[in-house]
Amino acid sequence: MENMKSMYFCIFLLLYVVILVENTALIGLITLQKGLHEPMYLLVCNLAANGLYGGTTLLPAMLTQILSRPHEVSVSGCLLQVFAVHTYAIVEFTILAAMSYDRYMAICRPLRYHATMTPSKVYKIITFTWLLPFLSFLALFALTLRLRFCKPVVERLYCMNYSLVKLSCVHLPFMNILGMLSVFLYSGPQIVTIVYSYVHILKICIFSSRESRAKALQTCTPHLLTLINYSIGCYFEIAQSRSESSRLSFESRSFMSLYFLIFPPILNPAIYGMSIKRIREPLLRMFSGRRKVMPTP
């Protein structure tokens, strides 16, 4: 058992270090390179910042729990994690929706792109992607703070809002309905934005030249991979957390439960770093220790 605990500790510590290194490097690169101060890259930078937020929400607490005996968490600590996990999830999806709008403007409205996506508007969009999720979740979180808990055990690897609701003394169906409504409220506008953007991008691609389609595919692929990677984990977590029974094993459910908090922060920098030349080349130079050599006249 002690060997297993040591193995889990090393695995999660390694994952956390990878999250810290990858996302910090991406944020540092985009911040320092003025040539990358464009809407898409600034949104990628904020996606990396949210990845740091999400990874830090889960992994330090999990590392502490692995080493501690018994595995206890205070009510205040659990509530703090609930707020952090949910705001991370909403911010992530909101940034992805903003990125889809940016790609829509770049591909479908190229002549108006720079006039529309001005620096002031981009900073307003970025502020919106952070501020709205925090303010909107406060309403639901305020109800959670008022709950009285009749059960002491959270049957999960980390604290989620619905897991606390199931421990409360209130009538569960009402809170379940309220929780499902909140899911649609927190993800509905983002889904509409993403679907609208990609329907119009697809229309443009159908009637464009092969070269234009290839360029559109190249610029949209990283975003689509990031979106699919995050959505699979997030919506599986929502579905299985509200299902009383599951055909999946405990190990499979645990893996998928952790997926949307660990793998998007790990894979997002890799996806953008490998796909976008303007990010890939400086990152390779950064990690290889090589400097860009200017040609002699």
Question: How would DSSP label each residue in 219-263?
Answer: HHHHHHHHHHHHHHHHHHHHHHHT-S--SS-HHHHHHHHHHHHHH
Q: Burial, 40: exposed, middle or buried (Cβ in 10 Å; 0-12, 13-18, 19+)?
A: buried
Do 29 and 41 form a contact (C-beta atoms < 8 A)?
A: no
Task: Give percent of the chain with pLDDT exceeding 70.
Answer: 89
Q: Quote the pLDDT of residue 24.
A: 94
Six-digit token string for 53: 């937020």
pTM over 0.75: yes
Cα–Cα dist 207/280, whole Å: 31
| Domain 2-288 CATH class label | mainly alpha
Helix (H, G, I), strand (E, B) or coil at 168: strand
In this predicted model, what pLDDT tens digit does every residue of 138-173 receive, in sequence order?
888 888 888 787 777 777 778 888 888 878 776 667
Spell out the residues 6+ positions from residue 292 whose beta carbon is closer than 8 angstroms to its own: 285
Summarised one tens digit per residue, pLDDT across range 54-91 is: 999 989 988 888 887 766 777 888 889 999 999 999 99
Stretch 119-145: mean pLDDT: 90
In whole angstroms, what is the distance from residue 131 CA to residue 91 CA? 9
Percent of the chain topping pLDDT 90: 40
Does 233 or 287 have the greater pLDDT score? Answer: 233
Examine the pLDDT at 296 and tell me if it is beyond 50.
no
Among 180, 153, 183, smallest CA distance to 166 is for 153
Interatomic CA distance for residues 164 and 151, integer angstroms: 9
Residue type, 218: Q
**What is the pLDDT averaged over residues 238-260?**
74
Query: Distance (Å, rounded) from C-alpha 9 to C-alpha 177?
Result: 37
**So what's the pLDDT on residue 198?**
93
Inform me whether the pLDDT recorded for 121 exceeds 80.
Answer: yes
Provide the mean pLDDT of the chain.
Answer: 84
**DSSP assignment letter at 289:** T
For residue 7, pLDDT over 80 is answered with: yes
For residue 244, name the pLDDT band (cuts at 50, 70, 90).
Answer: low
Band (pLDDT 50/70/90 cuts) for residue 297 is very low
Which alpha helices (DSSP H) does 109-160 contain, by range? Answer: 113-116, 119-145
Residue 1 pLDDT > 60? no
Residue 246's pLDDT is 59
Cα separation, 30 vs 46, in Å, equals 10
